[in-house]
Every structure is written in C-alpha cells, then in structure tokens.
Structure 1
Amino acid sequence: MPLYTFIGDIHSAADDLAVLLADPEVAATRLIFLGDYIDGTAARYFGHATESAPLAPLKVLTMVRKRVREYGDVALLGNHDEFWLRTAHGDDNATATWVLNGGHRTWRKLGIYSSNPNHVRRALNGALLKPDTDFLAHLPLMWQHGRLLAMHAGVNWQYPLTQQTTTDLLWIRDDYYDDFTTGSHRWHRNLFNKVIITGHTPVQTLTGSHTGYLKMQADAQDVPRYLIDAGSRSGLFDGGICALTLTVDGEFVRAKRVIKGHRYDGQQIVTPAMLVDQAH
C-alpha cells in the first residue's frame, strides 16, 4: 500500500529539511509539502538565552522543487508564499503585509537590499529569482487522494470543497479548528468525511503541546484532522519540521520531526534541556 508523508511549514529551515529528506523512511514515500517555504525568525528563544537559527529560503525552494520535479511529489501554496507571488505581480498591499511577516529578512536572503516595492517586484521577476516565482505561481491550493485531503490552513465548514476561497485555504484558523456553539472548548466536527492535514498554526501556540503534531477529533467517531505545523523558525525553543506519514485510507503510520538537525519521534515531548544538550 502506498504511503504519503505530509511535511509542515518549513520557513527557510533548509538545514532541518535536509535532515528530514535524508531519512530513508520519509524519502521512500510520496511527499506532500503544505506550503510556507519562506520567511521565518532567525532566532530560537529559550527564555534564559537566545540562539541563532539560519534562514535559507532559496535552498528550501531548491530542495522542494527537486522533489516535485524528480519524484513527482506535491507542493502546496502557503500564505507566506503568496506574499512573494502577489508582490511579484505588483500588489503593494501584499508587499506591506509581507514586511510585517518577515519580508525584509527574506529579501536580504534573496539578494534584495531595497525596500522599494518596485525594486522588490523587479527582482522577483528578474533572471535569478524568476524560476522560483514561476514555481510558486503553479502551486495548487489543495490536494486530495483517496480519503486524504490537504491544504495549508484549513477549510470553511460553511461551504463545499468546490467553493472554498483562497483566503480561507491559506489563512483560516479558529473557525476551522473550534466549535463555538458549546460553552466549553471542543474541536469542530469534520464535515467532509476525509482525513484532513494542515499546517499554518504552530501546535505549541494552539494547545501548549510540545509534540510535533496535533490530532483533532470532536469525539471518537469523528474523522480525524491533523495539524502538523511544528513551529519551524517561529522563535519557539522546540520549533522544527514535522513529517506525518499516513496510508491512502488515512491510517496513521508514523510521525517524525527535526529540531536543530536532530530527528525525534513526532509524539515525543522535547524539552529545553534536551536541545541544549545537543551542543555538548
């Protein structure tokens, strides 16, 4: 039976992505990248200390493009990737929003040292960066196969899959996760009868969990949804990249995540002491 591995938000962490792709169990499956290949925070905060975290958006895009081209893997568009596209198309509002979401850091990594929107647009459409711009421009917003359904952020339960908007697929959060009709917290019931896999929101910020992914079910009979944004380059001490492997029927096979170049079981709780020990 074929296996599918979903890889959450990478955010310029080429070093961690290289370790993940070198894992033979991951590499042997078909990969579905959930978007947000660029941007990110160039630091890791431990509360008492701060470490630098390298950002390499072009290396990430090169690795993802290679997997898509040579192995037939799938890469979906994320909201940060859309900043790049809309800026390349001359949308100044998108450029301003990109700045608020780490755009300046990314531009410097792309060799762009001006904040003038016209200069940035020309660079993204220039010879050096146009292959990446073209790659992002052709990425789908959604992927489904068998009982599996994936997109970057989530879905709007009020509309069928054929009527989902780009904004919801790239940006939705609370209305996708939660059922607000009850007085206490409860996950929204999965209305589409497919195992849905998304990124977009670090699991640490949503539940306080320090595992690599989150399984959401309204009750034991509800079809599960998985959130696999493990907080890569978010500034969180345990921010990393999660890889969730499922069967075509949505059965769980395994989960892995990479933090600071080390592989962990996706269900393992990683502590600050464990990460500090890596340096010794």
Structure 2
Amino acid sequence: MNYTFIGDIHSAADDLELLLKAPALQNSRLIFLGDYIDGRPSRIGTKKVDSLNPLAVLDMIMVRVKEHGDVALLGNHDDFWLQTAKGDDLSYQTWRLNGGARTWRRLGLKSNSPLVIADALKQAPLLRYTQFLSQLPITWMNANIMAVHAGIDWQRPLDQQVRDDMLWIRDDYYFDKSGTWHHNLVNKVIVTGHTPVQVLKDDGYGYIKMQADEKDIPRYLIDAGSRSGAKNGGIFALTLSKTGEVIAKNWVVSGRLMDGNQPYNLE
C-alpha cells in the first residue's frame, strides 16, 4: 500500500476537493498532517480573494477517516479549538490572534466572548467537530515512515516526546547548532507540516526535502502555505511507498492541480 501525506489545509475546501481527485491519491491511504481550520483569504501581492470554509474541510476529512480508513493528525490550530472548548484562556487568546476571529464568523458565531465561543463548541451543530478533533492522534508511523504535525525534539526518545513540541516545534527540529539541516536521528522517513515552506525557502516549490548528507534518511516538510497569505500558497500531497520511497508529488495552488515536482510560476 502507498501512503499519501497531505499538508496544512487551513480552510481551503475548494483546493482540497480538487487535490483528492489526483490519480496518485486514488489507491493510497491518506494521512492528513493537521491544521484544517483558520487561514487568510488574501494573497500577498495579488488582488485574489480565496474562500475560507473550515467546516467543509472538516466534513471531507471526517468522511475520509470514517469511510476510507484514512488518518487525520491533530495540528496546533485544531488544538486551539479543543483547548478553547475546555475553557483554556491562553489557547483562546492565541487562537483569536491567529485566525480564530475569522474562523468564528465562518462557524456562525457572532460573539468574541471566550465563554460564548467555548459553549458553542460544546453544543450542536459544532459539537460533532469538537468530538472528532478530540479523538485525533498526534503521530502516525509504520516500520519506515513517521508523520507528525510539527516535528520532534531530538533530545528525547520517540516514546518520551512532549505533546507541545510535536504540535509546535520548528527550528530545533529543522536545524542543528550550525544552522544546517539536523541529522535525522530516527530510523524513519519523517513527514511534517506546520511551517510554510515559503518561510524557509521560497523557490516556488511546495515542499522541502531535508537531508544533512547523502546517507541521512530524508525528512519532508510539506506545508505549502495554504491560505497563509503566500502568493503561491497551496496544499501539497506527498505519496510514498510503504518503505518510504517517493511515488508522486501533487499540489493545488489557486484551483490548479499540478505536478509537485515542478515549481509554481511566481510571475
């Protein structure tokens, strides 16, 4: 069986619907890497306005998990929803400043009160989404591949990782102290999202392959900047064999399904 890993979506239901039609995904187990909600409707340097439909994204993913046996991991933005529902004020405040206010409007909520928001997330019609998110795992792995939203702490063994690191870590996972790619200390290919590739290397591609040297087991960053404001932001899908070899790369930018081996023309 092949596995297709899908990077951050951030409410881009239209792009996700198109991506799911890509031929490489049809006979593949899908692993969604988290961050299904929030997002920005505008793109830097353009007049284009994108739609934001967080519930449509969640609906599609819930169907994939229930009817196809696919896997959806929890992202830090999805965790904002969960922790806000539990009454955590820091999560509420952080969410509000990172797309939450826009998302609440699209959930049909007209108040910014933390109590009102939390209460709404625990009642119909939003309760079923809260329940779905509450059941999502943080990691997925087989004998040769590991997937997690953000990354891992190299100072800890896999069975002692901290939840917040797996949802939030960035530079300490990507780089060593010299600023070059950190060696992969896990005997598995690792696939992550969380940080838009445009932040690290804006060369028009929707993924980054991280390898300290030729013998280093590769790691892939596949957050292609969907609804991040990036001009070439989209959703990326990386299809691997069960042993971790690359089978296909696909991504959708502005309603176009493209070969992920090719860069998106930034002009």
Corresponding residue number in structure 2 for 1:7: 6
- Is 1:31 aligned with 2:30? yes
Corresponding residue number in structure 2 for 1:109: 106
Among 196, 203, 206, which residue is 1:209 paired with? 203
- Is 1:161 aligned with 2:155? no
Residue 208 of structure 1 deviates from its aligned partner by 2.0
Q: Which moved more, 1:222-231 or 1:204-213?
A: 204-213
Residue 248 of structure 1 deviates from its aligned partner by 1.0
- Give the 5 Å matches for 1:212-231: 212-231=206-225
Corresponding residue number in structure 1 for 2:94: 97
Q: Distance in 2 between matches of 1:99 and 1:266?
A: 33
Q: Distance in 1 between matches of 2:25 and 2:191?
A: 17
- Give the 5 Å matches for 1:45-194: 45-46=44-45, 49-180=46-177, 182=178, 185-194=179-188
- Give the 5 Å matches for 1:232-271: 232-271=226-265
Residue 23 of structure 1 deviates from its aligned partner by 1.9
Residue 212 of structure 1 deviates from its aligned partner by 1.2
Q: Distance in 1 between matches of 2:24 and 2:66?
A: 20
**2:24 is paired with a residue of what secondary structure?**
helix
Q: Which moved more, 1:200-209 or 1:147-156?
A: 200-209
Q: Any conservation in 1 of the 2:204–2:266 contact (CA below 8 Å)?
A: no
Q: Distance in 1 between matches of 2:211 and 2:21?
A: 32
Q: Any conservation in 2 of the 1:213–1:267 contact (CA below 8 Å)?
A: no
Q: Distance in 2 between matches of 1:59 and 1:164?
A: 32
Q: Distance in 1 between matches of 2:27 and 2:13?
A: 20
Unaligned runs of 5+ in 1: 274-280
Q: Distance in 1 between matches of 2:27 and 2:212?
A: 33
Taking structure 2 as the reference length, the TM-score comes to 0.98
Equivalent position amino acid for 1:119 in 2: V
Moved over 6 A (4+): none
Encode CA deviations 1:76-128: one digit per residue, 9 max, x unaligned: 00000000000000111110000110100000000011000000001101110
Q: Distance in 2 between matches of 1:144 and 1:32?
A: 10
**2:48 is paired with a residue of what secondary structure?**
strand
Encode CA deviations 1:197-249: one digit per residue, 9 max, x unaligned: 00000111112221011100000000000000000000111000000000111
Q: What is the number of equivalent residue pairs in this alignment?
A: 267
Identity of aligned residues (%): 56
Taking structure 1 as the reference length, the TM-score comes to 0.94
Q: Distance in 1 between matches of 2:251 and 2:245?
A: 19
Residue 27 of structure 1 deviates from its aligned partner by 2.6
CA-atom RMSD, angstroms? 0.8
Q: Which moved more, 1:203-212 or 1:50-59?
A: 203-212
Q: Distance in 2 between matches of 1:99 and 1:263?
A: 32
Equivalent position amino acid for 2:152 in 1: V
